């Protein structure tokens, strides 16, 4: 993803969306945000993804995360497509619970490095890849993932990642492989044993390993 790195301030772009024109930072306010891009409206994988995002939108809300999608079509197309998405969820007539950015000129797709060179529309223009950006309340980019157009994402994984980002923003811990909320976490390597003992009153257990190095330190956050 050229140009935009973890920790960078996320661009305060202006765009037309299904809820009107927005300035991205104003849209976020003081919340966490998730922006996920889609190759094209009225396409099958994108429709399943948006439908899933809509079904679990309350889970993002619970975590204080504002959702916004992007696809390289117009607001009018997005409004029509949203009806299909909600019908796919057997909720025809209900509104899509988050806005979609219209990027029909591909300006944001270029600015944010989201084009997939392998997938093109009928005119031969590249489609957007499946990008996900998670933005913190400080407007800095906390996570980015980039899938090709041909692979749909796992939105439960996005919730899991947000749980980890929000926990590790508060505590000096890191979450191990396949971590889920409630599981033990790992004490970050930069903390001394004394600091860890003070910060984690629930205790720290250290797994013995052949190297004798005490880096596998678990705690209950």
Element (H, E) at 117: strand 115-120
Element (H, E) at 159: helix 155-170
Decide: is 84 part of the binding site for ligand BEZ (CB under 6 A). Answer: no
CA 12 – CA 10 distance, rounded (Å): 6
Nearest to 71 by CA among 90, 95, 53, 91: 53
CA 207 – CA 209 distance, rounded (Å): 6
Pick the closer one to ligand BEZ by CB: 149 or 159: 149
Stretch that binds ligand BEZ, among 43-51, 71-79, 88-96, 155-163 (CB under 6 A): 43-51
At residue 216, the 3 state secondary structure works out as: coil
Decide: is 109 part of the binding site for ligand BEZ (CB under 6 A). Answer: no
Q: How far is the CB of 35 from ligand BEZ (least distance, A)?
A: 17
Q: Known catalytic residue: 131?
A: no
Q: Indicate which residue of 35, 46, 102, 149 is catalytic.
A: 46
Pick the closer one to ligand BEZ by CB: 111 or 150: 150
Give the x/- contact pattern for ligand BEZ in 46-75, rule: CB under 6 A: x-----------------------------
Element (H, E) at 87: helix 75-88
Q: Which of 34, 35, 39, 71 binds ligand BEZ (CB under 6 A)?
A: 39
Sheet holding 173-174, edge to edge: 173-174, 185-187, 217-219, 204-206
Q: Which of 53, 127, 162, 185 binds ligand BEZ (CB under 6 A)?
A: 127
Pick the closer one to ligand BEZ by CB: 71 or 166: 71
Give the x/- contact pattern for ligand BEZ in 135-174, rule: CB under 6 A: --------------xx------------------------
Nearest to 109 by CA among 133, 130, 128: 128
| Residue 39 near residue 46, CB atoms below 8 Å | yes
Element (H, E) at 47: helix 44-55
Q: Binding residues for ligand BEZ, per CB under 6 A? A: 39-40, 43-46, 119, 127, 149-150
Q: Which residues are catalytic?
A: 46
């Amino acid at each position: 993803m050229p140009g935009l790195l973890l920790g960078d301030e996320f661009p305060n772009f202006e765009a037309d969306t299904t809820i009107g024109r927005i300035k991205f930072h104003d849209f976020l306010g003081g919340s966490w945000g998730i922006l996920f891009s889609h190759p094209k409206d009225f396409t099958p994988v994108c429709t399943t993804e948006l439908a899933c995002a809509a079904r679990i939108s309350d889970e993002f809300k619970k975590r204080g995360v504002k959702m916004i999608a992007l696809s390289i079509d117009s607001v009018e197309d997005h409004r029509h497509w949203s009806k299909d998405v909600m019908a796919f969820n057997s909720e025809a007539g209900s509104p899509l619970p988050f806005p979609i950015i219209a990027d029909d000129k591909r300006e944001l797709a270029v600015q944010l490095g989201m084009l997939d060179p392998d997938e093109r529309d009928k005119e031969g223009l590249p489609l957007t890849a499946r990008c996900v950006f998670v933005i913190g309340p400080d407007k800095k980019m906390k996570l980015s993932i980039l899938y090709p157009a041909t692979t749909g994402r796992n939105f439960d994984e996005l919730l899991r990642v947000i749980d980890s980002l929000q926990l590790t923003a508060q505590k000096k811990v890191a979450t191990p492989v396949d971590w889920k909320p409630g599981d033990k976490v790992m004490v970050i390597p930069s903390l001394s044993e004394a600091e860890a003992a003070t910060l984690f009153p629930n205790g720290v257990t250290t797994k013995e390993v052949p190297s004798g190095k005490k880096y596998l330190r678990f705690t209950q956050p």
